[in-house]
Amino acid sequence: MAVLTRFELLPVRATSRTVWLFVRLWTDDGLSGLGEASDAFGFAGTSAEQIERMRVELAGFFEVIRGRSPLDVDFYRAQAMDKARANGLVAATAFSAIEQALWDLSGKVRGVPTYELLGGGLRDRLEVYANINRASLPRTPDGFADTARRAAAEGFEAVKLAPFDGFPKPGSPAAEIQAAVDLGIRSLAAVREAVGKDVAVMVDCHSFFDVELAADVAKRVEPLDLAWYEEPVPPEEVEKTKQIADRILQPIAGGELLFGVEGFAPLCRSGAVDVIMPDVKHCGGLLELVRIAEMAHANRVAVAPHNPSGPVSTAASVAVSAAIGNFKLLEVQWGEVDWRPDTLVPRELFVDGSINVPKRPGFGIELNEAVVAARR
């Protein structure tokens, strides 16, 4: 049986803001598996120092599994998950990236798609929504509307934006806060007008509000018929989230950076959310996402995996989404760079707002070495 010998961290510069952090594990017989460790450092981008920090975190987690079979996913989880749980988002993301790559390798070793190892595939095609936030320039009502219109023209039947990014800090002058609220609402209204009533529109509030402001904004946007209202306050603030849920008409979604079943359980069991958004890069990996989904299902909560990331994360998210019963929608970071599909072999492909579940072993992808090398 092959054993794991080394890992690589492959940064891919997409934009001045976005660096995809691909992770690759290798065995002694030349087999490789992929994961992704992007988006662990917040909204400001990824610096050389942060990339090096991720490399150090990955090295520590890889030592747990070095020299062992790539099938030893349970061993890795048992030995390393407590460390990931206790040391913040960067550690959780590093842990999750290696777990992803182990599942890709496990599928390749067994000669089956990864979802077959997670209980079997329930669907051949996944509905996808276009996160248009980074592609929307300028960040004005017209800018958001134009981007949404283009995504809808490609066949996406749902779009999401975060029009309140850059929101004033708590304690800012009331007039400044009101101006930011008004601009965000005008942007949402412009998107709804641009895409019409048949395309779902979701808003990500990025936890900028308090309970009163969240309820007020939700009331003002009721005529826009939003598909969900995402994280008006931090998802860890379960009581506040539940207070908002009890006061508004829109479904609430959240949980993009939470870790493990224990991170999501309070939201689901309290009835604070209608949709949870575990991210395969941050939540503990594929198997933990399956267990989170099972817990959510028991509480009648749907799962829409968070995935504003690179194409490896999307491939991993497709593999696990195919195997969960309460799957709702998968996110994709749409329109950020036009060469994104060429990063993978075969090319990443969305058709009419959906992506097919591959039948090839593992995640069904490899990196396009030439494209990755050109963007490092």
CATH number for the domain that contains residue 81: 3.30.390.10
Shared domain for 126 and 254, answered yes or no, is yes
Q: Which two tokens stand for residue 343?
A: 């990063």
**By residue range, what is the domain housing residue 14?**
4-111
Domain CATH number, residue 155: 3.20.20.120
Q: Is residue 105 part of a domain?
A: yes
Return the closest-CA partner of residue 366 out of 3, 14, 30: 30
Q: Is residue 103 part of a domain?
A: yes
Q: Which of 60, 88, 111 is the last residue of a domain?
A: 111
Report the alpha-carbon distance of residue 277 to residue 255 in Å, rounded.
5
Q: Which residue type sits at 233?
A: V
Q: Is residue 374 part of a domain?
A: no
Shared domain for 55 and 136, answered yes or no, is no
Please tell me the total count of domains within the chain. 2
Report the alpha-carbon distance of residue 285 to residue 99 in Å, rounded.
6
Shared domain for 230 and 192, answered yes or no, is yes
Q: Which of 51, 78, 111 is the last residue of a domain?
A: 111
Contacts of 32 (CB under 8 A, 6+ apart): 24, 25, 26, 105, 366
Can you count the helices (H) and strands (E) in the chain? Answer: 12, 14
Shared domain for 107 and 121, answered yes or no, is no
Shared domain for 101 and 201, answered yes or no, is no
Helix, strand or coil, per DSSP, at residue 367: strand
Would you state the pLDDT for residue 43?
Answer: 67
Q: Is residue 287 part of a domain?
A: yes
Would you state the pLDDT for residue 42?
Answer: 80
Q: Which of 92, 111, 130 is the last residue of a domain?
A: 111
Q: To which residue do tokens 């008004």 refer?
A: 182
Q: Is residue 246 part of a domain?
A: yes
Would you state the pLDDT for residue 1?
Answer: 78
Shared domain for 344 and 246, answered yes or no, is yes
Q: What is the pLDDT along the chain (376 residues), one digit of tens a residue?
A: 799 999 999 999 999 889 999 999 999 999 999 999 999 998 667 899 999 999 999 999 999 999 999 999 999 999 999 999 999 999 999 999 999 999 999 999 999 999 999 999 999 999 999 999 999 999 999 999 999 999 999 999 999 999 999 999 999 999 999 999 999 999 999 999 999 999 999 999 999 999 999 999 999 999 999 999 999 999 999 999 999 999 999 999 999 999 999 999 999 999 999 999 999 999 999 999 999 999 999 999 999 999 999 999 999 999 999 999 999 999 999 999 999 999 999 999 999 999 999 999 999 999 999 999 999 8
Report the alpha-carbon distance of residue 129 to residue 151 in Å, rounded.
9
Would you state the pLDDT for residue 50?
Answer: 96
Question: Cα 239 vs. chain centroid, distance in angstroms?
Answer: 24
β 228-230/200-204 pair status? parallel
Shared domain for 102 and 131, answered yes or no, is no
Contacts of 117 (CB under 8 A, 6+ apart): 103, 106, 107, 110
Shared domain for 203 and 97, answered yes or no, is no
Shared domain for 94 and 127, answered yes or no, is no
Shared domain for 107 and 122, answered yes or no, is no
Question: Cα 154 vs. chain centroid, distance in angstroms?
Answer: 21
Do 202 and 128 touch, CB atoms closer than 8 A?
A: no
Shared domain for 241 and 136, answered yes or no, is yes
Q: Is residue 58 part of a domain?
A: yes
Q: Is residue 371 part of a domain?
A: no
Would you state the pLDDT for residue 44?
Answer: 65
Q: Is residue 370 part of a domain?
A: no
Shared domain for 93 and 128, answered yes or no, is no
Contacts of 110 (CB under 8 A, 6+ apart): 71, 116, 117, 361
